[in-house]
Structure 1
């Protein structure tokens, strides 16, 4: 019997001047453990007159995780942080009761051809931390745990699993693993996983229960402890999940909360520009119109 409960294909989504492949949320699966949002950015090549520019926009009730494979991006936020994100580093911003940030092509790349490829992820906060003060952390690539095991290269981007712990300061029980292969290998890691679990195939393919699954899709497991698969040659997959929260999470635009009234207040506060400002930024992303 297959351990795959649901297959989620990437769907095109427009985030302003940039198209992404949206994976979560999905109508049949709003979250996997505490993970409530996953966008695959690129790969895209931008010409010398094209740049990635997302003006200041707000978040509440979540932590954002930006992880690049190629290119670079400058993060600026209302806490005063300004960091250039490089491939392999983890940019982790906890919004709590509210934070504003922008994401842009670095100045040194704005007038040359460049590429951009990566993941943008939202992790919901436990209910007791939804109204906490915002925080920011940036972990360099060299500080992310990485090792070779069972014929593959593994990185623990965030969380704690497989006897390892990432330095990314997460707020609940979760895991985000990167697994890369140069040759086909069989992995039986389910006994180490917990809660809800899913596998995202970035490139290459995997085999499970006699079936081959190609890239650009998420496979949601029925039972994380039964996670076993064969990763194909030159393939990259991400296994993510953790303990789900007892309360439902609501998402409107960039806001996540267990309380709809909190989201409505954030919506009104952003419309009235009551959020803190990002130093050095003047523009902002307007609140989207409600759909009838």
Structure 2
């Protein structure tokens, strides 16, 4: 998905062992492990006068992870993929040296009825040695993702490794993404179960960290490996993100991520001149911002 029109709310605060911000990137924290962009889609009501229609746009140097909670999307891309994504499943597109794609509401849902669309569009930066790899696409159904229960909490390992389990999503660096829903108060133990930087996204409900209540819509980023305890309020829903950081800085412009500013400029020129790898069955085109 394109981040055209994205506004990063420059709100962040320090509550002790955690930084708190409105998704990423935010002012005090540009990445969480290899995760460089997290966009919360909705929840929004779609229907006869409003559908999701993201025209053809490009990516380099990253993998996109689409995770829907409600609603459905049709993904098409320049390597010939046509895939419907349903709630709880994962679309994992590796852009590598360059790929273009579209995301649209399925025709079957354009029937005059209203429905809710809600999910997360996530970008994971690729290791420097894989930035120019061939593009790939993988769809992992919800029933293939590891699920388990601990007390009043249910867990789903969306991607990577954690809690002694491994997701079938073919990631390219050590990372994790975990979904947790709880019915009663639940004390979260991440220290013994996850490795690397940790981000906690509050989807619904709230959590208590370092003596402060953090409401939905925020992400907490742990500053230390042994951070203060986190307690989930009843009926909360959170996502855990993170993993090992990269030794090199990442540059981001529009939909492009790279270790080199020159590589970003090359991609910008290719998209502007329409020499970028394009889709054969779609002639839509999202212009480069500013042109």
What is the TM-score of this pair, normalised by structure 2? 0.92
CA contact 2:15–2:212 (8 Å) conserved in 1: no
**Deviations for 1:43-81, whole angstroms, at most 9, x for unmatched residues?**
000121321000010000000000000000000000000
CA contact 1:190–1:225 (8 Å) conserved in 2: yes
Matching of residue 6 in structure 1 with residue 19 in structure 2: yes
CA contact 1:191–1:225 (8 Å) conserved in 2: no
**Deviations for 1:198-255, whole angstroms, at most 9, x for unmatched residues?**
1010000111232211111011111234363111111001111010000000000000
Matching of residue 214 in structure 1 with residue 215 in structure 2: yes
Once residues 227 and 123 of structure 1 are traced to their aligned partners in structure 2, the CA distance between those partners, rounded to angstroms, is 26
Which runs of no fewer than 5 residues in structure 1 stay unpaired?
A: 10-22
Which runs of no fewer than 5 residues in structure 2 stay unpaired?
A: 1-13
SS of equivalent to 1:108: helix
Once residues 18 and 212 of structure 2 are traced to their aligned partners in structure 1, the CA distance between those partners, rounded to angstroms, is 14
**Deviations for 1:126-171, whole angstroms, at most 9, x for unmatched residues?**
0000011111100001111110013210000000111000000000
Write out aligned runs for 1:57-96 (5 A). 57-96=57-96
What is the TM-score of this pair, normalised by structure 1? 0.92
Tell me what 2:286 maps to.
285
SS of equivalent to 2:287: coil
Write out aligned runs for 1:1-292 (5 A). 4-9=17-22, 23-112=23-112, 113-226=114-227, 228-289=229-290
Shift of 1:189: 2.2
CA contact 1:190–1:227 (8 Å) conserved in 2: no
Q: Structure 1 stretches (4+) deviating beyond 4 angstroms? A: none
Aligned residues: 277
SS of equivalent to 1:169: coil
